[in-house]
Amino acid sequence: MTERKDIIVGIDLGTTNSLVAYCDETGPRIIADEQGDSCIPSVLTFSPDGQVVIGCAAKAHAVENPTATVFSVKRLMGKGYEELLAEGEIAQLPYTVIKRVTDSADRDVAAVDLNGSVLTPPEISALILRQLKQQAETYFGREVRKAVITVPAYFDDAQRQATRDAGQIAGLDVVRIVNEPTAAALAYGLGVRGHLNGTAGPSDDLSLMGHCPSTEPASGSASGGQAGESVVAVYDLGGGTFDVSVLRLTDGVYEVLSTHGNTHLGGDDFDRQIMNLVQREVREQFGVDIASPAIRQALRHFAEQIKMRLSRDSSAVLEIDIGASEPYRRTITREEFETMISPWVERTIASCSRALADARLGPERIDQVVMVGGSTRIPLVRRRVEEVFGRRPYTALNPDEVVALGAAVQADILGGSRRDTLLLDVIPLSLGIETMGGAMGKLILRNTRIPCQATERFSTFVDGQSSVKINVLQGERELARDCRSLGEFELRGLPPMPAGIPKIRVTFLVDENGILNVSAVEERSGIEAGIQIIPAHGLTAAEVRRMEIESIEHAREDMTAHWLIDLRNQIAFDTQKTEDMLAKVGEQMPAPERSAVTTAIAELRTLAETCSDPRRLQQALDDFDRQTVPLAERAITATLRAMDT
């Protein structure tokens, strides 16, 4: 009997929403949850008793629990507290971000304080990943252990490592980290169909360029490329990040020519422009500062809704009760909103121009522009992209889903099911080391195809030097102080030699996930040292392993807690529906029967509040469902009679 092949899913771990997808011989599909929802909001609420609510329910109650509801955690991934403080990110958040105390004074670890529990961004992201993992396992009916996870193309090494850590904590083997624009190109090039949610999805197959599973390669582009070749720009503007990539697609080979972007630019910043406007006007008109976490959470929600409405309508009305004699009421026009966000949109356009220059292509050489991310629904964004590229962007696929679909395609490739596609990605920022005098010595330049390796020789500056500290840097500036330090290691035990005599060979190796390994060897003595970069503000391997072990050790109690939450939600839903049916047809029932149902509702609700045994709750819910069958039958009959009349 042959062993079943491991399932590999594709995951888009997004700033605003997260999704999981799977690809088989018919193409990639989103795995929806039991309610048929494809997107899980990347929002988590932490209760004082340690329970965690993830997704729509957490988002719905954000105003009630403002300091214990975490959102946009992706913008914190792989960053230290001091860096986030300098960026101004912490001041914008209603929840508390702190600098976690570690055993090393050199390590700057940002964390979130939630009711006294301190969690790092990878730990919080792991909870979202674990939810997606369970969603996939529910669909397949067996364990899912492997995943491809996407990241913004402009995520640096620290942010990629943090994403990998989150996957490991969630119990997933992250077999590949893929850039989001590249994943989107895979989805567009290979076609998509429907959702995996237990029912057949819409059969809206699409092939933009490259291959569909059942079609021949697309013909050559009109811009003069080789037969079967297309050049595509993928513009990816999500909730918290932006990047643009230029790819060449040739007979199933996806080659990234260039990438550029900003990991701190997205729809969240557009929301904040509306929030800043409201806060300023409320202060001017009413003399009130909107400072409480609850009001800020509410205002963030209102701003997001206004932004979405202005993508459809020319104006939108915002009304907020601020506790004054009259509510704050404001009509915001699309033109006004576009003026507010224009500077942010222009930054994305500048990145597009930079990516084209790096690829040595003019806009006329681009065959297609693909739009990815929910913020690309904004009319100004689409209009400016059309202007800079000279062609209307392609928007046929749901911009929220296309990255997850592409991740599923890459998962299918790694699983060995698809052999007609090859993905050639690039690193987003140059890599090097600090040299004498604080200069940045670049070994691997940005937009170099991965996997890649570079070697360069250095020497000592001082006679008799017995050790060399190697500071690994990432960035485009020429001075070390203007670049980001990814980590340091020391080459010790060098034999005393005059300055300039030692020959130290430094090798940088970037694997297919964009993760960096650095080694150094003194060629005369053979002494060597190396490091897989773990940034000073990241988690150590031991910490990640501890969290992974804890997730396994507490798996049973975590599952029990999750079961209890689901049951309590179901009880609340069922009892409310039963009350609705009583109001509709209760007068038709004998008084004792009606009284029994009313009593059963009260008893079940009380039990849900007090009982922590899920088996007992499940039995009580089953008994309640059986007891209310006659009422349900009466309600159905009444509905059918009303339809007949």
Query: CA-to-CA distance for 228 and 346, rounded, in angstroms?
Result: 33
Active site residue 482: no
- In sequence order, which residues have a C-beta less than 8 Å from that of residue 515 and are 6 or more positions away? 157, 160, 161, 164, 177, 532, 533
DSSP per-residue letters across 511-560: -TTS-EEEEEEETTT--EEEEE---TTS--HHHHHHHHHHHHHTHHHHHH
**379 burial via Cβ count (<10 Å: 0-12, 13-18, 19+):** middle
User: How many alpha carbons lie under 13 Å from residue 585 in its C-beta half-sphere?
Assistant: 20
Query: Nearest CA to 50 among 612, 638, 618?
Result: 612
Residue in this structure with the two tokens 């681009």, named with its chain if needed: 366
Catalytic residue among 156, 157, 180, 434, which?
180
Q: How many residues in the chain?
A: 645
Inter-residue contact 266 to 15 (CB < 8 Å): yes
Report which secondary-structure segment, H or E, holds 609. Answer: helix 591-610
- In sequence order, which residues have a C-beta less than 8 Å from that of residue 440 and are 6 or more positions away? 432, 433, 434, 473, 475, 477, 478, 479, 480, 482, 483
Within its chain, how far is the Cα of 549 from the centroid? 24
Laid out side by side, the sheet with 449-450 consists of 368-372, 229-237, 242-250, 253-262, 422-426, 449-450
- In sequence order, which residues have a C-beta less than 8 Å from that of residue 122 and are 6 or more positions away? 77, 162, 163, 165, 166, 169, 539, 544
Inter-residue contact 307 to 270 (CB < 8 Å): yes
Catalytic residue among 74, 79, 133, 307, which?
74
Query: CA-to-CA distance for 241 and 249, rounded, in angstroms?
Result: 25
Catalytic residue among 156, 157, 236, 401, which?
236
Laid out side by side, the sheet with 504-510 consists of 452-458, 504-510, 516-522, 528-532
Query: CA-to-CA distance for 506 and 131, rounded, in angstroms?
Result: 42
Active site residue 37: no
Query: Nearest CA to 79 among 446, 539, 524?
Result: 539
DSSP conformation class of 475: S
CA angle 378–384–386, rounded 5-degree value: 105
Query: Nearest CA to 447 among 404, 413, 476, 470?
Result: 476
Active site residue 74: yes
Active site residue 644: no
Query: CA-to-CA distance for 42 and 132, rounded, in angstroms?
Result: 11
Inter-residue contact 187 to 255 (CB < 8 Å): no
Provide the token pair at 368.
């297609």
CA angle 414–415–418, rounded 5-degree value: 80
DSSP conformation class of 241: -
**383 burial via Cβ count (<10 Å: 0-12, 13-18, 19+):** middle
Inter-residue contact 451 to 440 (CB < 8 Å): no
- In sequence order, which residues have a C-beta less than 8 Å from that of residue 249 and are 6 or more positions away? 185, 189, 209, 210, 229, 230, 231, 232, 255
Query: What amino acid positions are annotated as catalytic residues?
Result: 12, 74, 180, 236
